[in-house]
Amino acid sequence: MINNNLFLTLIIYFLIVCLSVILVTLSGYVYLSFVPLVLAFLFTLMIIRRIDRSILDMTSILTKASRGDFSGRYKAKMDWEIEPLGLAINDLIENISLLFKDFTADREDLKFILGNLSEALWIQNKEGILLWTSRGFDALFTSFRKDNVKHYWEVILEPALLDYIKSAILNESAEVKEIELGNTVYLCKGIFNPKTDTHVFILQDIGILKQTEQMKKDFMINLAHELRTPLTAIKGFSEALSENPDPDSQRYLTIIRNHTERLISLVSDLQTLASLERMPELNLQPLNLLTFFSNIKALYHHTLEERKLYLNLEYADYLPKLTADPFKLEQIFINLIDNALRYTEQGGITIKLAQEDSFIRIEVCDTGRGIESEHLNRIFERFYEADPSRNRAQSGTGLGLAIVKHAVMLHHGSIQVQSEPGKGTCFIMLFPLLSDKQ
């Protein structure tokens, strides 16, 4: 569709040509035709100048916009087909201006939030120069001054943190690590940003969490210690009173003894769990697994005969020795077998041994009741009851599987469980063969 202004221009040029032809025809003088041509030239020059001014205006507006000044706007001048371009530029600048305002507001909000973090957060380039730091960083490393461009090693003087930063730079990322600085503990994380070729680090103070965790462990130890003495006394006096032939007294004393035994077992398990959580030194020894499990099986010989259950051992033709702490390893499998016997009425338990790459794979499977799927991810929690309806007096202390998990983790191993109701339960563990070197 032809623009109205362009259509008007074409009519004017057509009239000029017609006028030239008429003048030449009527006068017979060719030179008179130059008069309309001069008029046409002047008219064309005027149009070109108007277009040129419009283009210069647009160029100026776009130049200002490229420098961040979005105040310029094109003013309509009826400049032929160039006017829609000017209006489109106005719309473009208006949209960019709105986006820029939103971006600036978001950027300022982000800078305010990050800048006021209590955690130590900083960004450094590949040369190690600190590009940006939070207030938490400035407070933690008081030698840093924002008006002085410094390398991180000029500000951070703690060897453990320096080693972590170097490792993160070499590997372009690093695992979360606990680092002790001064009188508290920090959780450190480093991330590499390939788009800006910079590293971002953050230190989160977890000192209070660590203190709370230690208080919890101390409470468990102190509670177990305080409970053991009166429980032992109760047990002793109840045994002395059991010599009374009165049937009613015997029944009550039996109940007292059973609950006392349960409380003593609970205290013992609490002490064991607290000891494992303290990450004790392991007494690592190379163990012959066949001999180890033969001794475990011998412990349950009479119990298995009484309940008419089996305990089978399946293993490969060749098994390397596993370097482990014999006592801690024994705790693992005694708790698992006790747990299996508690919920297995027919069939028995099968222990499977095999080498899997650089690991020893050990499975403890039973033919018991099984566990509902919604409980599987929580059975290693302390005192968690997968079957709340069961008789608590006949069950364990609720800490056995928590002890198992901690003991496995001490050996740098892993444990998972598979189970279906009515089809039994299987605990699968992987122990690294070189656990003594880790």
Residue 383: DSSP 8-state: T
Give me the pLDDT at residue 2, please: 44
Give me the pLDDT at residue 438, please: 37
- Is there a contact between 361 and 433 (Cβ–Cβ < 8 Å)? no
Tokens of 325: 């702490």
Give me the pLDDT at residue 123, please: 86
Give me the pLDDT at residue 145, please: 60
Alpha-carbon span 208 to 23, nearest angstrom: 103
pTM attached to this predicted model: 0.47
For residue range 201-232, what is the model confidence (pLDDT) as tens digits?
A: 888 888 877 777 776 666 666 666 666 666 77
Give me the pLDDT at residue 1, please: 40
The answer to whether domain 116-205 and domain 285-437 are alike in fold is no
- Is there a contact between 220 and 274 (Cβ–Cβ < 8 Å)? yes
If you write DSSP's letter for every residue of 199-256 in order, what string do you get? EEEEEEE-HHHHHHHHHHHHHHHHHHHHHHHHHHHHHHHHHHHTT---HHHHHHHHHH
If you write DSSP's letter for every residue of 156-200 in order, what string do you get? ---HHHHHHHHHHHHHSB---EEEEETTEEEEEEEEEETTTTEEE
Alpha-carbon span 221 to 228, nearest angstrom: 11
Weakly modelled stretches of the chain, pLDDT under 70: 1-45, 47-48, 76-82, 106, 109, 113-117, 143-149, 172-174, 215-230, 233, 237, 240-252, 255, 259, 262, 265-266, 269-280, 382-398, 434-438
- Is there a contact between 46 and 77 (Cβ–Cβ < 8 Å)? no
Give me the pLDDT at residue 337, please: 92
For residue range 8-38, what is the model confidence (pLDDT) as tens digits?
A: 565 666 666 666 666 656 665 555 556 666 6
Question: Residue 172: left (phi > 0), alpha (psi -120 to 50), or beta?
Answer: left
Give me the pLDDT at residue 252, please: 65
Alpha-carbon span 53 to 86, nearest angstrom: 12
Strand-by-strand arrangement of the 310-315 sheet: 310-315, 348-356, 359-366, 424-432, 414-420
Alpha-carbon span 172 to 285, nearest angstrom: 37
285-437 adopts what CATH topology?
A: Heat Shock Protein 90 (3.30.565)
Q: Map out the domains of the chain as residue ranges.
A: 4-106, 116-205, 209-277, 285-437
Give me the pLDDT at residue 19, please: 64
Give me the pLDDT at residue 398, please: 67
The dihedral through the CA atoms of 41, 46, 49, 50 has a sign that is negative
Give me the pLDDT at residue 187, please: 86
Q: How far is CA 348 from CA 197, 304, 394, in A?
A: 60, 8, 19
Alpha-carbon span 219 to 95, nearest angstrom: 63
116-205 adopts what CATH topology?
A: Beta-Lactamase (3.30.450)
